[in-house]
Amino acid sequence: MSAIKLKDKQFVPFIAESTIIHKIQELGAVLNKDYDGKCPLFIAILNGAFMFSSDLFKELNIEAEICFIKLASYKGTQSTGHVITAIGLDIDVTGRHVIVLEDIVDTGKTLHSFLPQLHNQQPASLKIATLLNKPDARTHPVQIDYSCITIPNKFVLGYGLDYDGLGRNIREIYQLSE
């Protein structure tokens, strides 16, 4: 692994592919135990979580469903403020054991705005699983139930995460060079 340049920025190797895969296998084993007999519904948030959710889903040996959504944010009226809606959530979550899959929880703003909407639909349980967690960047409280790798507050890309649309195909995770 060597440094790469994408557009105007330089990135250096940070997390090896083997480490990522190992952490995902560990998470898969935990989920196989925690959700045995519960037929959980995984809701993966696009675009960033596509690679993580695909590799995690392959680790499951229990009955499970997955769907992929996009979150669109728009400015609501003054009373509603910043609103986030889910596009593509075509499965009824009521009474289901739901696990939301994120690539990274950074400020927490996205999940903080979106999770109440899922709660309103009364799932049997609602948990968050993320590949990367940046706790030092948090400005909005979010309870993360399953986290593969905790990282410092630095911009990263690769393994589904992008910089200005690029870098999602890189198999390892790189971080922005100072």
Binding letters toward ligand IMP, positions 6-45, x by CB under 6 A: ----------------------------------------
The CB-based long-range contact list for 146-153 (8 Å cut-off, 24+ gap) reads 146/27, 146/30, 146/31, 146/99, 147/105, 148/20, 148/23, 148/24, 148/26, 148/27, 149/15, 149/19, 149/20, 149/23, 151/14, 151/15, 151/175
Please tell me whether residue 129 binds ligand IMP under the rule CB under 6 A: no
The correct pick among 44, 51, 157, 173 for binding ligand IMP (CB under 6 A) is 157
- Contact between 45 and 105 (Cβ < 8 Å): no
Q: Is 161 in the site for ligand IMP (CB under 6 A)?
A: yes
Within the chain, strands assigned E span 4-6, 9-15, 41-46, 65-75, 82-87, 97-105, 125-133, 146-150, 156-157, 173-176
Nearest approach in angstroms of CB 9 to ligand IMP is: 11
- For residue 43, which amino acid is it? I
- Distant-in-sequence, close-in-space partners of 165: CB < 8 Å, separation ≥ 6: none
- Please pick, among 8, 106, 162, 164, the residue that the annotation labels catalytic: 106
**Binding flag, residue 55, ligand IMP (CB under 6 A):** no
Residue number, 38 or 112, with CB nearest to ligand IMP? 112
The minimum distance between CB 16 and ligand IMP, in angstroms, equals 17
150 part of the interface to ligand IMP, by CB under 6 A: no
Contacting residue, 27, 43, 106, 159, with ligand IMP by CB under 6 A: 106
Catalytic site includes residue 106: yes
- Catalytic residue list: 106
Write out the residues near ligand IMP by the rule CB under 6 A.
48, 102-110, 155-157, 161
